[in-house]
Amino acid sequence: MLNATKHGIQGQAAATIMMVDDEPTTLDVIEAFLQSEGYENFISVEDSREAMARAEENRPDIILLDLMMPHVGGLQILEAVREHPRLRHTPVVILTSSTDPQTKLTALELGATDFLAKPVDPSELALRLRNTLTIKAYQDQLTYFDPLTGLPNRRHFTECLDEFITRTHDEGADGAVLHLRLDRLREIDATFGRDASNEVVQIVAERLRGALNPSQLMGNPNAREVQILSRTAENEFLVLMEAAGRPNRAARIAQHVISQIEPACTVDGRELSVMAYVGIALVPEDGEDVETVLANANLALSYAQRVGGNDRFQFHDESLNAESRERLHLESLLRDAAERGELQLHYQPKVDLATGVIVGAEALMRWHSPVLGPVPPDRFIPIAEESDLIVRLGDFALRTACWQMRSWLDAGLPPICVAVNVSSRQFRSGDLENVVQAALAEFAIPAGQLVLEITESMIMEDPDATGRTLTALKTLGVTLSLDDFGTGYSSLSNLKHFPIDELKIDRGFVKGVPDDPDDAAIVAAVIAMGHALGLRLVAEGVEQEEQADFLRERGCQIYQGFLCSRPVGATEWPMLMARLQG
């Protein structure tokens, strides 16, 4: 099992010592003395030509190296060790009877750690070994381990994965790499501070240790060995499992890990939850080198986050590589689309059900790329949401909507409210209040005409932080609308704690009325409870007169949908207003 003890601070008696010397008597004497001192793992190499192969095979913690040997000299071996990717940091103590200063200087230049004069004094050897191994253990802890969790870090993981891949070639072994990412950790950090998020990470790390204990895994506990569990980024972990190379086994492990991580963590009396996503790459099917395996596991992880669902894990598939290239190309084009004038807002009317008068509009972003042509929102918005682009697009939408309202007012059109969608990243950015305030001031827009639409899932991620942000926005005077109600896991009773003005009934329920009794009952109940809380009701996706009649009879005030109009460009809006208002 490849585990943390190889590079960790360990009992020195467990250290592996390799000695290369062409004198059998010296090898026997040193081995006997070290065994009497409690060192259990001694490798003697009499033929210097075998030194590098034995070092690669055994990965010693320290090498005792004679300089003057036939076939291959000690300086050649030292140079080869320092150039070897897996051995370059191994301490090498030179054993020499030479008093030539130049020889010692050359050895130091090549990376010798220490010197011992021959004949070797056993007491001095014991002290030098102890000191060298103590320093090595401390350096290894810094080099190979995450200070917060004590788990191996990415460097340690990649070395172990490299060794394992070699075994798949030599022995036909198979395995799986699980790339795990915690969602919501950054929100916890922003809201409750770094100490709270660090404690959550430590709790998750302990749960992972328990979840990956062979006795906790389903099936034969000896059938899948955890090669290494590591923390490789602020909210990411990597796991290498042996004998988990078949998809059904890897899937069971991923499901087990997710189920163990996700119960709420108690931190300072608060219940804080994270969500886990896992990408799986099978070894050797999904790569025969470290870089390829890790890249494919990361692709699978990104896909798992995009598609969501109950399982929240995905396997790598070759088609993901082509999809990833396409997404990266699209992201690169989108990054400067606003500056190139390729982004526009279209406006869908919001209509008073009682009078048929347009009372507002929802601003919807459209992208016409000179390279790709018209790009549907459901293609570019998810990509923007995975990166920092969504915040930039959100700021663009806010400023453009305010500018457009000012333009319409200056042209003599009646004032209307315009709704702008706010993304989760934008909402959590900490700067939304300033952006809104600046846009209102720049274009002299009455704050009540700007409607900010947030989703149900956003407000329930962190209710305390949400309440503070919404209160700050409400202080500015803007209207707050809850979008897609009914698709998340809040209830109307939760909404009384937030300064919400408007509730939008999701199109998924509206499309079934009046014929579907379940949808009809849900919509009627939402309308009734919304009125009880003093909220304005807006129904989305209304396409038929029968739907509008049903909503009107039950007291819904406003609708939007194709029954009135598709979203139109800013230049078409005045004509649409004139036609419908006339």
- Angle (CA) 191-193-197 rounded to 5° is 95
Query: How would CATH label the architecture of 154-316?
Result: 2-Layer Sandwich (3.30)
Distance in angstroms (rounded) separating the CA atoms of residues 239 and 262? 17
**What average pLDDT does the segment 274-302 reach?**
91
Long-range pairs for 573-582 at CB < 8 Å and ≥24 separation? 573/347, 573/361, 573/408, 574/408, 574/411, 574/413, 576/349, 576/358, 577/358, 577/413, 577/414, 580/349, 580/351, 580/356, 580/357, 580/358, 581/357, 581/358, 581/414
pLDDT value of position 177:
94
Q: pLDDT, tens digit, for every residue of 417-429?
A: 999 999 988 888 8
Distance in angstroms (rounded) separating the CA atoms of residues 149 and 203? 9
**Considering the chain, what is the average pLDDT of its residues?**
86
Q: pLDDT, tens digit, for every residue of 187-221?
A: 888 788 889 999 999 999 999 988 887 555 444 33
Share of the chain above pLDDT 70, in %: 91
pLDDT value of position 133:
85
Model's pTM, two decimal places? 0.57
**What average pLDDT does the segment 114-122 reach?**
84
pLDDT value of position 373:
93
| Domain boundaries along the sequence of the chain | 4-144, 154-316, 335-581
Residue 491 has pLDDT above 60, yes or no: no
pLDDT value of position 242:
84
pLDDT value of position 188:
86
pLDDT confidence tier of residue 12, bands split at 50, 70 and 90: low
Distance in angstroms (rounded) separating the CA atoms of residues 439 and 418? 13
Distance in angstroms (rounded) separating the CA atoms of residues 222 and 149? 26
Q: pLDDT, tens digit, for every residue of 41-81?
A: 999 999 999 999 999 988 898 999 998 899 999 999 999 99
pLDDT value of position 221:
37
Residue 249 has pLDDT above 90, yes or no: no
Distance in angstroms (rounded) separating the CA atoms of residues 326 and 321? 9
pLDDT value of position 400:
96
Q: pLDDT, tens digit, for every residue of 492-514?
A: 556 778 899 999 998 889 999 99
Q: What are phi and psi of 170, to 5 degrees?
A: -85, -35
Distance in angstroms (rounded) separating the CA atoms of residues 134 and 128? 10
Long-range pairs for 547-555 at CB < 8 Å and ≥24 separation? 547/510, 547/511, 547/513, 547/514, 548/353, 549/514, 550/513, 550/514, 550/520, 550/523, 551/353, 551/510, 551/513, 551/523, 551/527, 552/353, 552/354, 554/523, 554/524, 554/527, 554/528, 555/527, 555/528, 555/531
**Choice among 172-176, 228-232, 485-489, 529-533 with the minimum mean pLDDT:** 485-489
In 165-224, where do the E strands start and end?
A: 175-183
pLDDT value of position 226:
66
pLDDT value of position 3:
39
**First-to-final CA distance of the chain:** 79
> What is 335-581's CATH topology?
TIM Barrel (3.20.20)
Residues with Cβ within 8 Å of 133's Cβ and at least 6 positions away in sequence, in order, are: 12, 15, 61, 62, 91
Among candidate residues 502, 548, 571, the one with its CA nearest the CA of residue 351: 548
User: Sign of torsion, CA 206 208 210 213?
Assistant: negative
Helices 185-192 and 194-211 pack at an angle, to 10 degrees, of 150
**Containing H/E element for 451?**
strand 450-455
Query: Beta strands 62-66 and 16-20: pairing type?
Result: parallel
**Choice among 92-96, 268-272, 387-391, 573-577 with the minimum mean pLDDT:** 387-391
**Choice among 167-176, 284-293, 398-407 with the minimum mean pLDDT:** 167-176
Query: How would CATH label the architecture of 4-144?
Result: 3-Layer(aba) Sandwich (3.40)
What the block records as the tokens of 224 is 């899948």
What the block records as the tokens of 332 is 């690169």
The strand order across the sheet containing 16-20 reads: 41-45, 16-20, 62-66, 92-96, 114-117
Q: pLDDT, tens digit, for every residue of 298-341?
A: 989 988 888 776 678 888 887 756 666 777 788 889 988 988 99
